[in-house]
């Protein structure tokens, strides 16, 4: 009876962790330089024994040091986050083969890198990225669905011709074209290129006066800590934006792997003005 009760307690605890996150843990990080590229790994400390790993490729001219705010927001839910630069030193980040090679290296080594943190296995692998890194991920996973259990990308660059993905997929994008990224060819195109369970959180077009003039409050480079080189609205992204994105990722993971997939289970109450599209919805 004691063993049964203990098993039930563990099951309940794991379920609560999946739904409510692991917010009591402190975030920690480290970097690794390997032959396939450079990574920065964020993890809750202590880390859960088994948890999802989210691998995100960086955008054009970006590095692994540009996404700490987003990574820390995701880590607050107990997830392992790996910011990947698959072509360090090169501003172009659309190479799907190099993305795949670095992702495979991370898959092979991540648990070993996390030795002593409490993490002993990865429950599910999510691949994706920001801008060009998102395009690279979309191309890599469409060519090899076994690479990832799901996709999470943040306004991936031109995905009109990246191929179709069949794993569960979610995207954040914008109802405005900025940073030379056309809104029709970015997250919306990736959403239409997803053939299985899919979700698209589109940030509404909102303009405001700021030091750059009258410009979008939310735009392609809002996901980066200090925006992108040569692309900014001269305002820092508020911390709640990153928290809102992380909340949606937690919803997505739970709906895809632990609960029931439905639009209601993917809906989020957040400060960022978003419209949610799921499965057959047409953005």
pLDDT in tens, 33-89: 999 999 999 999 999 999 999 999 999 999 999 999 999 999 999 999 999 999 999
The reply to whether 38 falls in a domain is yes
The reply to whether 16 falls in a domain is no
Has residue 187 got a pLDDT over 70? Answer: yes
pLDDT in tens, 224-250: 999 999 899 999 999 999 999 999 999
> 14-28, 70-84, 247-261: which range is least confident on average?
14-28
> 16-20, 39-43, 62-66, 105-109: which range is least confident on average?
16-20
The reply to whether 268 falls in a domain is yes
The reply to whether 156 falls in a domain is yes
Q: In this structure, are residues 171 and 156 in contact, taking their beta carbons and an 8 Å threshold?
A: yes
Per the structure, the count of domains in the chain is: 1
| Mean pLDDT in residue range 161-183 | 96
**pLDDT score recorded for residue 182:** 96
Q: How far apart are CA 158 and CA 150, in angstroms?
A: 19
Tell me the CA distances in angstroms from 115 to 42, 45, 76, 108, 239, one per residue in order. Answer: 14, 12, 20, 13, 30
**pLDDT score recorded for residue 6:** 36
Please compute, for residue 26, the number of CA atoms within 13 A of its CA located in the half-sphere on the CB side: 1
pTM: 0.91
The reply to whether 244 falls in a domain is yes
Local structure of residue 256 (DSSP, 8 states): I
| Mean pLDDT in residue range 114-122 | 96
What is the chain's percent helix, strand, coil content, to nearest 5?
Answer: 35, 30, 40
- The CATH number that applies at residue 200 is 3.40.50.1820
The reply to whether 232 falls in a domain is yes
Has residue 136 got a pLDDT over 70? Answer: yes
Q: In this structure, are residues 237 and 69 in contact, taking their beta carbons and an 8 Å threshold?
A: yes
The reply to whether 10 falls in a domain is no
**pLDDT score recorded for residue 24:** 54
**pLDDT score recorded for residue 244:** 98
């Amino acid at each position: 009876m004691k063993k049964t009760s203990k098993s039930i307690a563990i099951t309940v605890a794991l379920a609560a962790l999946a739904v409510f996150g692991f917010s009591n843990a402190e975030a920690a990080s480290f970097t690794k330089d390997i032959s396939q590229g450079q990574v920065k790994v964020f993890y809750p400390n202590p880390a859960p024994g088994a948890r999802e790993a989210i691998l995100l490729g960086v955008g054009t001219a970006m590095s692994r040091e540009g996404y700490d705010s987003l990574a820390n927001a995701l880590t607050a839910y107990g997830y392992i986050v790996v910011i990947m630069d698959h072509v360090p030193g090169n501003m172009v980040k659309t190479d799907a083969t190099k993305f795949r090679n670095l992702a495979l290296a991370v898959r092979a080594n991540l648990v070993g890198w996390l030795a002593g943190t409490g993490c002993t296995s990865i429950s599910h692998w999510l691949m994706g990225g920001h801008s060009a890194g998102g395009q690279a991920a979309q191309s890599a996973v469409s060519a090899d669905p076994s690479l990832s259990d799901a996709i999470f990308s943040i306004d991936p660059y031109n995905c009109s011709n990246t191929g179709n993905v069949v794993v569960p997929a979610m995207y954040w994008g914008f109802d405005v074209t900025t940073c030379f990224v056309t809104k029709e060819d970015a997250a919306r195109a990736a959403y239409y290129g997803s053939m299985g369970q899919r979700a698209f959180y589109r940030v509404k077009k909102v303009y405001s006066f700021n030091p750059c003039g009258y410009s979008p409050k939310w735009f392609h480079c809002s996901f980066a800590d200090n925006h992108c080189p040569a692309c900014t609205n001269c305002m820092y992204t508020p911390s709640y934006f990153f928290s809102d994105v992380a909340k949606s990722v937690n919803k997505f993971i739970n709906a895809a792997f632990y609960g029931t997939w439905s639009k209601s289970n993917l809906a989020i109450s957040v400060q960022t003005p978003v419209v949610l599209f799921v499965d057959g919805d047409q953005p």
